Amino acid sequence: MKKLTKLLFLLLLFLTQISLAQDFRKFETIPQYAKQAVLSENFDDNRNEWTIVNYLSDEVRESKIKKGEYRLTSYSKDEMVVEIKSGFGYTQLKDFEIETSIKHEDFQKNNDNGLIWGMSADGQNAYGIGFTRTGYYTIQQMTNGVEHNLVEKTYSEVLHKDDFNHFLIRKIGEWYHIFINKQYVYSFPYQPLQQDQDITGFFAEGTSISVDYIRVSKINTDQIQTYTQPTPEVASQPSNNNDARGLVITNPVNTSNYQKAGDYHALIIGVQNYKDNSINDLRFPLRDAQNFNDILVQKYGFLPKNIIFLADPTRSEVLQALNKLRQNVKHDDNVIIFYAGHGYYDQKVKEGYWLPSDAVEGDDSNWLANANLSTKLKGIDAKHILLISDSCFGGSIFKPSRSAFADANRSITNYYEKRSRKGMTSGTLKTVPDESVFAKYLLQNLKENRDKFLTASKLFYRFNDAVANNSENAPQFGTLHNVGDEGGQFVFINTQAK
């Protein structure tokens, strides 16, 4: 029993460590199947014999049935209360669903609460959904004691912060489908459960939760009561790749048609402190770089592990980071590179440069030229690369023609299917202004965007006039010269959009 308790605690601890995102695909109406309840618990009493912890024997954990709800409380932010029950018999059911309603009541708002199902007796295999009162949810699988992040910690306006949240886990055929408050959020392949994987329960870490009910039902897929098929749309990829996210075209009814989509990577560079006293230090590039990083993570589903953040790097450190991207990025992945700092354009050689922290005025040996950057970008085998530079480029990195970008009639999927190498820059000044107008409007538009899918060109054309009207810069957007563009575009996925 002690071993099981320890393993269970470790499993639930893993659930609290997930970070960031799959995006949503909606069912217009949740399919309704004929079903028969295997276990139904409204918590009017304890007839199903859930384990009730005696509060007097444990100073920090308590569980009780009160006013038709199952209340679990952990009075310490570092302690967890867990209630589980076995005997659900999932292996006896061809298709089934688990339905429950849980509310975060009090204490640590950022801590996870949630549901466990399909747990083995030794605690080495399980599934779990956790959510916080601040609007984040997670989905995880544990296999042979190793956790797999199916959905990283992701913010969703679907979650109720001060009310009960309805969770529906549905197993149909070879897939699990997850719904929160009647909105579809994720699917992933079903793996056959072993005989002992019928433990189900609830957990709360440093929080207090109420459970209104839980119901496990056998589903008869031959009898469909109501179903409205949604039109196919761009959606996330439910697969065994735990961290994969991106764009695919998929029919939600035929799960065999799911296509692989790539991960999203970012290299974020802020240079404001220069070793050479002849180059003026800046005050805001690191702030702008950090704000850009936060927006990508919080709103656009970038995983922190896929972001390289460089503060005041040398030329060598920038090149090393680009080499790391080359090693880690796969063929279908997406890459965004952001630079904020001094730039310079040499009229004699018609070349633009970034100035890393070890740049010296009048000596270009530690400057990073467009030509060097283009060579590095050629070596990154990504599907899409978007370069955002809040510095001078003088247009030399762009191809002469940019007419393709204004084609607003092309669909998101057409843009995504073709490879792209695009860039946007703040203008043609030899040095960027300390308080960047370009960064201000870029970040503002990313933050305020409500579109589910936002192409790089659409983003640029939303704020370029504002930059031009409020500064001496002439922002530019174009195809990066001679690095493999095929007419596609980088697409931002807004994980907060409904």
Specify the CATH architecture of the domain 2-230: Sandwich (2.60)
Structural tokens at position 63: 């569980």
Do the first three CATH levels of 2-230 and 264-493 match, i.e. the same topology?
A: no
Spatial distance between the Cα atoms of 197 and 195, rounded to a whole number of angstroms? 6
State residue 246's pLDDT score: 30
Return all residues near 328 (Cβ < 8 A) that are at least 6 apart: 265
- What pLDDT does 238 receive? 31
Virtual torsion, Cα 173, 332, 179, 27, nearest 10 deg: -90
* pLDDT, tens digit only, all 498 positions of the chain: 444 444 454 444 444 333 323 333 344 456 677 888 888 888 888 777 777 666 555 677 888 888 889 898 888 877 778 788 887 888 888 899 999 999 998 888 888 899 999 988 887 888 999 999 999 999 988 888 787 878 888 988 899 988 999 999 999 888 899 999 988 888 888 888 888 888 898 988 889 999 999 999 998 876 544 333 333 233 333 333 333 223 332 333 333 333 345 899 999 999 999 999 998 888 899 999 999 999 999 999 999 999 999 999 999 999 999 999 999 999 889 999 999 998 888 888 878 889 999 999 989 999 998 888 989 999 999 999 999 988 865 555 664 433 333 343 455 666 777 888 988 888 654 455 667 888 899 999 999 998 888 889 889 989 888 888 887 777 888 888 778 888 888 999 888 876
Reading the block at residue 5, the tokens are 């308790």
Measured CA to CA, the distance from residue 354 to residue 488 in angstroms comes to 26
d(CA 150, CA 130): 12
Helix, strand, coil percent values for the chain (each to nearest 5): 20, 40, 40
Predicted local distance difference test score (pLDDT) of residue 59: 72
CB neighbourhood size of 109 (10 A): 13
> For the chain, how many residues are written?
498
**Alpha carbon distance 167, 103 (integer Å):** 11
What does each C-alpha distance from 63 to 73, 88, 321 come to in angstroms?
Answer: 6, 21, 50
> By the 8 A CB rule, do 199 and 86 touch?
yes
- Cβ–Cβ < 8 Å for 208, 106: yes
Sign of CA dihedral 384, 390, 393, 398: positive
Place of tokens 């009814």: 253
Q: What is the pTM of this model?
A: 0.50
Looking at the domain covering 264-493, what would its CATH class be? alpha beta
Judge contact between 374 and 397, C-beta under 8 A. yes
Domain ranges of the chain: 2-230, 264-493
